[in-house]
Amino acid sequence: MIAYFVMECGVEPYIPTYSGGLGVLAGDTLQSLADLKVPSVGVTILWRKGYTSQHLTTHGAQTDFPQIWDPSKYLKPLDIKIKIPVNGQDIYITAWKYDMMGISGHIVPVLFLDTNLKENPTEIRQIFDRLYLAQGKDRMLQEIIFGIGGYELLKALGYKIMVYHINESHSAFLTTGLLKDLQDIEKVRDRVVFVTHTPVAAAFDKFPIEDVKTYLKDYIKDANMEDL
């Protein structure tokens, strides 16, 4: 089975969890996987305030507003809750599911990660509010929760994943979960496919290795993360 990780995903025009090209491509890819009956699962993020809704003032200035929507109208909440240790605290994660149905009726589930839980502090509950607005350590935290949380969620749900398809670097931290379980960097490489969609320097997230070690010290120990 393939796990298709993507930070933005356009499964329906009225579910504002995408901004443009990558999200539309992700939705098309998942639809094709369903049409072709490829055993797979999509993993993305529940952006509760979407990306942005643009409006023009009477003077022609552009203004941006959040896209407020109700996930319960379109997605099914899953009865699951996991936690991962990050930077000295436990972060709790749940998920919502959308069924992508193929032309023959084959379904590819798409899981939307969500941290808006009472067990989390306010800043964690809101970490997935808006797509692409976070910077610096907040962006790193988003990507840790997405990558590692998505990896652990699939395990908790019983999915037997053979290939992890990473789109851009946003979910790359899932490789630390694989390394923790497999204890072999070559085996990790054999299980991961990485695709760059925007081949320019500005599209590649870079975080100081010491910050990464600090945030992940309680999750993965004694691993040479520089190799990843």
* Cα–Cα nearest to 150, from 45, 60, 70: 45
> pLDDT at position 60, please?
85
* Under 8 Å between Cβ of 19 and 55: no
Helix (H, G, I), strand (E, B) or coil at 190: helix
The CATH code of the domain at 2-227 is 3.40.50.2000
Q: What is the pLDDT of residue 57?
A: 83
Domain boundaries, the chain: 2-227
User: Which ranges of the chain have pLDDT less than 50?
Assistant: none
pLDDT tens by residue, 15-66: 999 998 899 999 999 999 999 999 999 999 999 988 877 788 888 888 887 8
pLDDT attached to residue 145: 97
The per-residue b/e assignment along 180-218, b for 16 or more CB within 10 angstroms, e otherwise, is beeeeeeebeeebeeeeeeeeeeeeeebeeeebeebbee
- For the record, the structure tokens of 131 come out as 């797509």
